[in-house]
Amino acid sequence: MSEQRRHPEERNVVIVGAGMAGVQTAVALREGGFRDRITLIGAEPHPPYDRPPLSKAVLLGQADGSSFDIDFAALGVELRLGLAVTGLRADVRELDTADGPVPYDVLVLATGAEPVRLPGTDGLPGVHLLRTLDDAERLRPVLARRDDVVVVGAGWIGAEFATAAREAGCAVTVVEAADRPLAGVLPAEVAAPMSGWYAESGAELLTGTRVASIEPGAVVLADGRRLAAGAVVVGVGARPATGWLAGSGVELGPDGSVTADEGLGTSLPGVYAVGDCASFPSARYGARLLVHHWDNALQGPRTVAARITGEGEGVYDPVPYFWSEQFGRFVQYAGHHAPSDTLVWRGAPAEAAWSVAWLREGALVALLAVGRPRDLAQARKLLETAARLDPRLLADPSVPLKKAVV
């Protein structure tokens, strides 16, 4: 039964989190005909903004911010910014905040993710994260001064920051504990060739290397080496920002995510979760997915809005998608692969453009494209239908993906 049918009187939908997922939930509710009260709570004092530009345009001074072009007053959405939510009392349907309790009838959790910090680095001068607008503003003068920069972590955010820092003229060293970039995301045969991208850009990549400590002006490695560092940027991953939900009755998974159901409902009635803070069961891939990417925060709100308004079945099982711009390359990924899936190359990693596809029992389940946007565009359509592909034709980069369907 939809929330709308259970509560025919005017209701207050409270959304905690004013990032993409929270904002788009408010927009989707209005577009879906919801006319009751909507309150959007954000912990940051800034007007709601988009995060992808932070790692380049804002960092390099090419933009002062990335606020959403949305008239919240015209939408009838009440913004409460600079307000941290510290607890949830489901028995009385209230949120705890520094400004006092906030009642809700329907609650949407959209608190996103928070960066993982290196132990012992909180408050150390010169150590930075890159997640918020304030983080980017603190890093802008670092790039403007062309400081020597050490980046800890060769994941997506580390690569994107290293790209911007090199573009600004900084000397950049990237320290990665694994033996290759993107070790937690891509298999070795795909990720290892990406190591060369760093050297091509003039950045130094140290793999299989751990940080022992950070001192003023230097990073000390586990093998005793010291790296000069006017600034240190930590990009070692992110985790769902759900610590405030401890003891609330909202079920959390081992990874800290809210364990949402197929319609993004939580273990509590009238409470939903969307975006980076929520995992969901995927019948398409036979696994519970936790997707920390922009497209997930854009798509999920439509399902939540449909559940709240009763205007649809409200089942969420997307084909995940994300992109990254790094070292002059446009990298895109769609789908979800497992280690047991069959990997098929389309082109060679030494080339300027190439793709990798994953097949499961002959059906396409994922594709990574480097400089081949047409492959990605066709793959997204084929992934929706679990199309079966001829491996021989798939391996020929001159054959369009759609021509490899059997």
Q: Which domain holds residue 254?
A: 3-114+238-309
The pLDDT tens digits for 320-364 are: 999 999 999 999 999 999 999 999 999 999 999 999 999 999 999
Does the pLDDT at position 148 exceed 90?
A: yes
Please identify, among 190, 214, 234, the residue that sits at the C-terminal boundary of a domain: 234
Same domain, 39 and 84: yes
Same domain, 177 and 99: no
What's the pLDDT at 134? 94
Please identify, among 177, 204, 234, the residue that sits at the C-terminal boundary of a domain: 234
Same domain, 289 and 372: no
Q: Is residue 321 part of a domain?
A: no
Percent of all residues in the chain with a pLDDT value above 70, rounded to a whole number? 98
**Helices vs strands, H then E, count in the chain:** 10, 26
Same domain, 18 and 108: yes
CA distance 90 to 68: 31
Q: Is residue 103 part of a domain?
A: yes
What's the pLDDT at 10? 83
Average pLDDT along the chain? 94
Distances (CA, A) of 400 to 15, 57, 85, 220: 43, 33, 50, 49
Q: Contact, 67 vs 133, CB < 8 A?
A: no
CA distance 72 to 49: 13
Query: For tokens 């090199």, what's the residue?
Result: 166
Q: Is residue 397 part of a domain?
A: yes
What's the pLDDT at 4? 44
Q: Which of 235, 206, 237 is nearest to 223 (CA)?
A: 206
Q: Is residue 44 part of a domain?
A: yes
Q: Is residue 196 part of a domain?
A: yes
Pairing of strands 149-152, 172-175: parallel
Please identify, among 199, 234, 269, the residue that sits at the C-terminal boundary of a domain: 234
Same domain, 85 and 172: no
How many domains does the chain divide into? 3
Q: Is residue 244 part of a domain?
A: yes
What's the pLDDT at 58? 86
CA distance 245 to 258: 9
Same domain, 224 and 243: no
Same domain, 153 and 215: yes
Q: Is residue 318 part of a domain?
A: no
Q: Which of 311, 289, 294 is nearest to 302 (CA)?
A: 311
The pLDDT tens digits for 218-239 are: 999 999 999 999 999 999 999 9
Does the pLDDT at position 57 exceed 60?
A: yes
Same domain, 131 and 226: yes
Between CA 32 and CA 269, with CA 39 as vertex, the angle to 5 degrees is 75
What's the pLDDT at 66? 86
CA distance 248 to 89: 6
Does the pLDDT at position 275 exceed 80?
A: yes
The pLDDT tens digits for 180-195 are: 999 989 999 999 999 9
Same domain, 102 and 11: yes
Cβ–Cβ contacts within 10 Å for residue 135, how many?
16
Structure tokens, 71? 């008239």
What residues pair up with 102 in beta bridges, in sequence order?
Answer: 95
Q: Is residue 171 part of a domain?
A: yes
What's the pLDDT at 3? 47
What's the pLDDT at 247? 95
What's the pLDDT at 2? 45
Does the pLDDT at position 205 exceed 70?
A: yes
Does the pLDDT at position 62 exceed 90?
A: no
What's the pLDDT at 312? 72
Same domain, 271 and 350: no
Does the pLDDT at position 163 exceed 50?
A: yes
Distances (CA, A) of 106 to 11, 25, 242: 7, 12, 18
The domain that holds 369 is classified in CATH as 3.30.390.30
Same domain, 168 and 76: no
The domain that holds 55 is classified in CATH as 3.50.50.60
Same domain, 199 and 219: yes
CA distance 8 to 101: 24
